[in-house]
Structure formats: structure tokens, C-alpha cells
Structure 1
């Protein structure tokens, strides 16, 4: 590329950057601001009701099997699994299914309240299309996402017995005293209500709260999703074009583009804030914006899956896989205890992590287990095992690291979007990048206004 053509090319991308930013600016500001707050959604919800998640270690922990047996008398419903954290100061969660009548009554109440039930419906539709995020297993098992704030259907728990069926409710237990603390989803806190609003703004600009259709024949929630998705696509163009026009023509410009000159006048500081901070956060901003439209447009979702070779047509016949079953022992051996199951899992997956055990449905059912690493740099994707309930033989293994790269990339879209790729470390990076993204429409608009004033003079 000759140097004489560079100014024309730069001006072309500069125009894309400018007008894309001006058109989407307000929506991007709202989406990025709410995304910043929602980054720590789970942590904030848990902090609002810490009694359900934190305990004071008092001597030795009770045997998990004993703990669950004692808790059954206080739990209204069938216990279908248990979540055992690695940390010693965290509660154990018994996973249970409520009686059908009670579930039906709660569903009717939730429909009237128009809470975050829409979130669950949307995610369920995405799951049916076969492209759930690998991090969703961790989000599913995280009790902070259990809707501990007034959204009964938002509960995210491990699947019911055998890894199939409806999602279970979660009852917090003190592993030292055996106390049944309660179900965090029964608590309604201001924090959770705020996070629910943040999510509604982020996904639908709260249009899902408007009952009367704004455009005839288009659901308001879908309309809001289209608006935020379009703004995100324009932001993606802004990120790509911004990187192109950032590269200076002369070496001197490189040094200036990597730092903020705080001693300069406010116009220069504003320019540096937009230019420099945008450069340092460009990779994360690209990942956030390239994954965002996945939840807004069918064509984008299909394109993403086709790009990674994981697309499955809705009309394609489903593969009939042979059902996994446990072999009934001839010697009358009893099923493995929870403690024995955990020992087997830790031998097969020898790393520190939280374990969720889903009990077998019946005498020939299988035990479904998932394990998620813990730590500041822990990857969000969990590993899954399906075991024979009597012998502990591995019938099916789903190790995320062993999957081909294209499957890992396609399945990690949610983790890439929310920053839950490598635990708290990546979340912190995403939080800072979101803050920067929130400022970019403001600083960019100020640069444009200042240039317009300069032209008039």
C-alpha cells in the first residue's frame, strides 16, 4: 500500500467510525453501562444474602450422605442431587424438585409479575438450538444465579437426576451443623431487583416491560433485542475501524498513541482518553461486541455456528443415541454413596473444584456429575462424567479441554461475552474494559463536537 493512498483509506474508515458511533452512541452507552454493573451479577446477589452462601467452619464437616438424609425431612420435595463446594467456608446445596402442584402455582404467580422469566425462556430457546455456552454449566450450578431475588423461574441449578429433566431448586445447608438454612430464591432483595433491571436494559432496553406492542406484529422484547443487537454491530464496526485509524503514519505517533498526556488541555486529554484507552481495551471490546448479536439475531447465531462447524439445522433428524443405564448387580450391592462418588470423581478429575452430583432417577439410572475448577485464573468450562450408580464405571466422559478447538470456541460464546473465561481474572479485565466502553461514546462525541467548532471558526 503506497503512502499516498493511506489518507484516503484512513478517511474512509474514519467516516465509518464516526457515523457508526454517532448513530449507536446512546444505545451503546446504556448497553455498556448496564454490562459493567452486570459483570458481577452473581457476586452482588450473593453479597446481598451471605447467610445462604457463607458459613463459619466449626470443627469437622458432616458426612455428605448423613447431611442430605437429615435435610430431607425439612425439604418439601424430592432431593435429586447435591452441590459440594471445595472451599471450607461455603454452604452445601441440596438440589430438589418441588411437588408439581406447588411448581404450577408458582409459575402462575411469576407470569403475573412479569419478572425475569423472559430470561429463562430466551436461554431455553438458545439451548434448544444446540449452542449453549460452556460456561453455562458453571453459571447453571452457581447459586448466585439461582434467582435469589424475586425471579422464581430464573433459578439456575444443576439438571435433575441423570442430567435430564427440569432444573432443580437449591436448599442451602450448613456442612458443619447440618442446619437447613433455606432456599435463596425465596429471598427478594433490592440488589437482585436492581440486577434484574440492569439485565432488562442490557438485553431489551426494558421494552420487555411495555405491554402494548410498539410495532404491530413484533414482540417488544424482540424489538428491544434487535435495537441492542444492531447497536452492538455498529460498535463492532467502530472497534475494527478504530484500530485501523489508530495506527499512525509516522513512528512518532506510536508513542503518543500509547499514553495520555495529562498536562495538556482538556481537549487533548479527552482525545487521548478515547484513543489510548480504546487501544488498550480493543481485544476485549472486540470479543464482547462480536459475541453480543448472538442473542439478537437468528441469522447471526446460525452464522456463528457455521463458522465453527457446529451448526445443526432445526429440520435435521435427531441422532438416536443409546440410553446409558446402570447394570443391576447380581449380588444385591447397594448404589454408591455420595462420598464414594466424590472420591471417584476426584480420582478421575484430580484438581480442586466444586462438584455437583445428580442422583440416578431409578434403579437402572445413571449418576451425572460435573466439576468446575476454582481459583483466580480458573477456566469457567466444567467437565462432566456419567457414572454407573453401583460400580462407579465411567459410561460417558465430557472433558472440555479434550474437545476440538472449533467446538470449544463455539461453545464458549457466553463466557467470551460476559468475561467468565478464566474466572475472577478475566472478569476483572472485562469490568475495566466495560468501563472504558461506556466512556467511548462520550469522549468520541466530544471529539466530534470540538472538530465541528473548529471548522466553524
Structure 2
């Protein structure tokens, strides 16, 4: 082995020791989360409703229903998930945390409610993002480990890549008939090779979710240096509480929802936010597909008089903004449907296996080298004994 490869092997091994446990946890939780929508749909009947063909109940009615059931709640986020899915209201109850309330979008009746922190997949998500540590600490532990893992994937590729063309064909396959140590070695190297490109994409999109500078870098790269600034395109406007002239006759939240549905008639899902802590304005996002968060058109309205403040028309967005809005769908593998979910699941599963198979390889080499050292010591002692006899 050349000196260069010895250095690469040293880095690969010790970086693996540093990040292995975190990578394993993050990858396993990523596997579980990939199919969370499908699993929850199969387990819980409240996640589907019968499409009656009637108009949706107005957002203001959903808010009133939730406030009646939870008087101390502030229903800041309202979801219309689709024609055969319930509406959802995420309400802030203060000290008691959030309450997630599901309602029939055609009748306005509550069908189910839960605290998000008790949902199994929300817990899995928080482990994936923060390892259940405080978010400010957890995101850095996970983020640094993911960056290290990306370096490990590259160094592993350098170490594994066969020198001779004749060796490449057999290097791309697992020798299932070999001894278990050989199979483990192939699982680490061959599967690691096949998963590298997907693993790096998942890693970058995960970092973009956790760290805004990564998101900005993706935005600027996709825009190829065009004169578009991130903040100008994504910053939400704020309502001016001093300019309340011409107050809307209809509740602004209903007016905003009606406008968005008219402007985006093909949208399957709508998200309405009325969170004072975010912008003070009422925003409506219209999404092309239910449970998918890319290909969105959005609108911001003055919360006092219903005036349209800003539009985010999908066709007019920069390539960078379109790409970062696809980030979640890419990360969970749903960007191109069920097939890409399977790919993301398998890649995450392989990533979870790599620290395990790598550790087994290291243990095997350590045990293999130990008898050699013992034999060498014994041999040297025998030589000394012979010299003393002479």
C-alpha cells in the first residue's frame, strides 16, 4: 500500500470511529421515516376521509371549532391535505405545547387530535435531526457527523477502487459463497460504492434542512451567479398594524384561501399560516401534490384588510428557489414517487450498515495481526535464549 493510501486509510478508519454511532442512528431513523406517510395511512383511519364533492369548510370555521375545543390554543397553521384527506390544524397551547387537530374538511367536525411529541414518527424525526438533544446542540452533533461521513464515503471510494481493469468486474459484486468475513468485507465495500452518490445527495439535503448557509449555497449554485439575492426572494412581507384602512368584510383567512384556490386551481394541498411570530401576515401555500412540498405557489396577505402583499408564483421562481423547495421531497425520497422512496430507503439502510461492517473488518484485522506479533515476540525470546546458551 502506498503512503498516500495509508494516510487515506488512517483518516477513513478514525473518522469512522468518531462518527460511526451517530451515522448509524441517523441512517436507521431515516429508513423508518421514509415510509411514515404510508405506514400511518395504513394504521390510522382518521388520516383519510370520504370525498363528498361538497366545498371545503372555510378556514375560519376550522379555527373556531379548534378554539372551542381548546380555548387556550392559538390555531396558527391550517392544512388542507387533499380531497380524500382530513384538514389539520396545528395549535399552540402555550405551556402545554402544541395540539395537532384533525377535522373533516367537508363538515368541520374534529375526528382526532394528538400532541405531536407523542407521535412515534415525530419522535423518530427528532432523533434523526437532533438525537433527542436540545436542537441547538443536536443539529451540530448530527451536522458535523454527516460532514465527516461524506469524507468517509470519498476516502472509502479511493481505497476500494481497483487498480487493474481486470479486477473491476469482480470488485462490483458480492462473493456470497465466500467465508463470512469475505462476505462482510464485500458488503462494506461493494454496497458502500453503490450507495455513495445517493448517500451524498441525502447528506447535502439533510445539511440544507439544518443549516441555512448550506441552503443559500445550493440556491446560489443553482442560479449560476444570476443577480438574484436569497433574502429578496424568500423574505415574507409584514402587515403594518398602523394601516388598517378598509378592513375586510369577510374574514381575511377565508379571503386569502379563496384567492389561492382561484389562482392555483390544480393544487391538491394548501397550507395557511397565521403565526404572528413568523411575519405578522397571513400566508397561503398551494402545492401541486398532496403530502409533497415542492412545486409550490404562495401568497402573502395583509392580516388586517386582506390586501395581497406578495406572490410566489412557481413558474416565476428562480431555479435556486425551486431547488431548495424540493429539498425535503429529495431528502425523504418522494421527489419522483414510490420508486425514489425505495431508493432512499435502501441507501439509508446501507449507510446504517457501513459503520457495523467496517467495525467488524477492523476487529478481524486486529485479531489477525495479534497472533503474528505474539509469534514474533516468541521467536525473539528463543533467539535470545540460544545466545545465552552459547
**TM-score, shorter chain, exceeding 0.5:** yes
Correspondence list, 1:47-58, <5 A: 48=43, 50-57=44-51
Q: Residues 52 and 181 of structure 1 are in contact (CA less than 8 Å); yes or no, is this contact kept in structure 2?
A: no
TM-score (norm: length of structure 1): 0.60
The CA distance in 1 between the partners of 2:192 and 2:284, in whole Å, is 42
The CA distance in 2 between the partners of 1:179 and 1:407, in whole Å, is 35
Correspondence list, 1:93-132, <5 A: 93=88, 95=89, 103-104=93-94, 107=95, 110=96
Match of 2:114 in 1: 185
Cα offset, 1:447, TM superposition: 2.1
2:362 corresponds to 1:448: yes
Deviation track 1:229-270 (CA, whole Å, cap 9, x = no partner) reads: 332222111112122333322222332232222222222221
The CA distance in 2 between the partners of 1:207 and 1:337, in whole Å, is 36
Correspondence list, 1:231-380, <5 A: 231-292=145-206, 301-302=212-213, 305=216, 308-309=219-220, 328=246, 342=258, 345=260, 348-349=263-264, 351-357=266-272, 368-374=283-289, 380=294
Cα offset, 1:97, TM superposition: 5.8
2:104 corresponds to 1:174: yes
CA distance 1:346–1:426, shift in 2 (3 Å)? farther
Q: Residues 171 and 180 of structure 1 are in contact (CA less than 8 Å); yes or no, is this contact kept in structure 2?
A: no
The CA distance in 2 between the partners of 1:321 and 1:197, in whole Å, is 33
Match of 2:387 in 1: none
Match of 1:13 in 2: 8
The CA distance in 1 between the partners of 2:10 and 2:354, in whole Å, is 16
Q: Secondary structure at the match of 1:62?
A: coil
The CA distance in 2 between the partners of 1:319 and 1:173, in whole Å, is 28
Give the superposed CA RMSD: 4.6
The CA distance in 2 between the partners of 1:201 and 1:336, in whole Å, is 38
CA distance 1:67–1:384, shift in 2 (3 Å)? closer
2:24 corresponds to 1:26: no
The CA distance in 2 between the partners of 1:232 and 1:68, in whole Å, is 43
The CA distance in 2 between the partners of 1:394 and 1:319, in whole Å, is 12
Gapped runs of 5+ residues in structure 2?
221-228, 373-390
Cα offset, 1:66, TM superposition: 7.3
Which one has a larger percent helix, Structure 1 or Structure 2?
2
The CA distance in 2 between the partners of 1:188 and 1:12, in whole Å, is 45
CA distance 1:400–1:262, shift in 2 (3 Å)? farther
Q: Secondary structure at the match of 1:356?
A: strand
Q: Residues 380 and 423 of structure 1 are in contact (CA less than 8 Å); yes or no, is this contact kept in structure 2?
A: no
Q: Secondary structure at the match of 2:114?
A: helix
Cα offset, 1:34, TM superposition: 2.5
Give the count of matched residue pairs: 352
Cα offset, 1:440, TM superposition: 0.5
Deviation track 1:310-354 (CA, whole Å, cap 9, x = no partner) reads: 677xxxxx998786999959xx98689959955x64553353421
Deviation track 1:389-417 (CA, whole Å, cap 9, x = no partner) reads: 9x999653213454333344456555554
CA distance 1:453–1:171, shift in 2 (3 Å)? closer
Match of 1:438 in 2: 352
2:3 corresponds to 1:92: no
- State which of 296, 299, 311 in structure 2 corresponds to 1:385: 299
The CA distance in 1 between the partners of 2:358 and 2:281, in whole Å, is 57
Choose 276-285 or 67-76, whichever is displaced more.
67-76
2:31 corresponds to 1:39: no
Gapped runs of 5+ residues in structure 1?
1-5, 111-151, 154-168, 209-220, 313-317
2:57 corresponds to 1:61: no
Cα offset, 1:197, TM superposition: 4.5
